[in-house]
A and B are shown apart, each in its own frame.
Chain A
Amino acid sequence: GQNIDQPTEMTATEGAIVQINCTYQTSGFNGLFWYQQHAGEAPTFLSYNVLDGLEEKGRFSSFLSRSKGYSYLLLKELQMKDSASYLCAGMDSNYQLIWGAGTKLIIKP
């Protein structure tokens, strides 16, 4: 079956760095997406990786290892506004997104 695993909840301190991990099993693979979702709001796009390696975009970076079925989202210089759920989604061979349940990130001052 197809599956996306990510931690349910993480806590970090303002100004620190946090890494949110995601492992995936999909039928075929056409890329890995990360979205941010604030409580009560719609998901918004953060990153897309289809090749191995690290992609940096400001304070956020995303890493992919296709051989390990593994990705992580790295958030640096955490701000209180980064408190949100982070959704990992893998795209299968039919180009459909398989979504994880999301990781709720709590930022403490």
Chain B
Amino acid sequence: IAGITQAPTSQILAAGRRMTLRCTQDMRHNAMYWYRQDLGLGLRLIHYSNTAGTTGKGEVPDGYSVSRANTDDFPLTLASAVPSQTSVYFCASSEAGATDTQYFGPGTRLTVL
């Protein structure tokens, strides 16, 4: 079934640890995005990639890094997790341009203690 998968579904992490959230899509979409969603706030863009080999910073990039080695995968890394990074993380993709519909993965619920 075509779509976006994320792993893990949920994770509890000690502060200071390194963590990579995985995102894979099989729709051959060019653009991919990472968002965080916190209670009472809108989705906030962390990083994005318009095409394989390129990445860009979103609204809240500090403490996060991404890579886009191929079309399908877009991992998000927290180099040294802090409690303020406790959130639900959504990966999304769109076919070509930014005005195209974004399709979201099921999310990763991350708790940093």
Which residues of A line the B interface, CB within 8 A? 4, 30-31, 41-45, 48, 50, 87, 89, 91, 95-102
A41 and B44 contact, Cβ closer than 8 Å, known pairs A30-B99, A95-B99: no
Q: How large is the interface on B (under 10, 10 to 19, 20 to 34, 35 or more residues)?
A: 20 to 34
Interface: B40 (CB within 8 A):
yes
Closest beta carbon of chain B to A25's beta carbon, Å: 13
| Shortest Cβ distance from residue A70 to the other chain B in the assembled complex, whole angstroms | 17
Chain A CB within 8 A of B74 CB: no
A31 CA to B98 CA in the complex, in Å? 10
Taking the nearest CB of chain B, how far is it from the CB of A40, in angstroms?
Answer: 8
Query: Are B42 and A42 interface neighbours, CB within 8 A?
Result: no
Query: Are B99 and A99 in contact, CB atoms less than 8 angstroms apart?
Result: no
- Give 4 new A-B contacts, CB below 8 A, not counting A30-B99, A101-B41: A4-B42, A42-B104, A91-B98, A95-B97
Q: Flag if B90 contacts A96 (CB, 8 Å).
A: no
What is the number of contacts between chain A and chain B, taking CB atoms within 8 Å?
A: 48
Provide the residues of chain B in CB contact with A30, threshold 8 Å.
98-99
Q: Judging by beta carbons under 8 Å apart, are B97 and A48 in contact? A: no
On whether A95 and B98 interact (CB within 8 A), knowing A87-B42, A100-B42, A101-B40, the answer reads yes
Quick check: is B77 within 8 A (CB to CB) of the other chain?
A: no
B9 smallest CB distance to A (angstroms)? 11
Most buried by B among A31, A95, A97, A100: A97
B99 touches A31 (CB 8 A): yes
**Contact between B107 and A97, CB atoms less than 8 A apart:** no
Min distance, Cβ B108 to any Cβ of chain A, angstroms: 11
A95→B50 CA distance, assembly (Å): 11
Q: List 10 A-B contacts (CB under 8 A).
A: A42-B104, A42-B107, A43-B90, A95-B97, A96-B45, A96-B58, A96-B59, A98-B42, A99-B42, A101-B40
Interface contact B98-A43, CB-CB below 8 Å: no
- Please name the residue on chain B nearest to A30 by beta carbon: B99
Going nearest first, the 5 A-B pairs with the smallest beta carbon separation are A99-B42, A95-B98, A42-B104, A99-B43, A45-B101
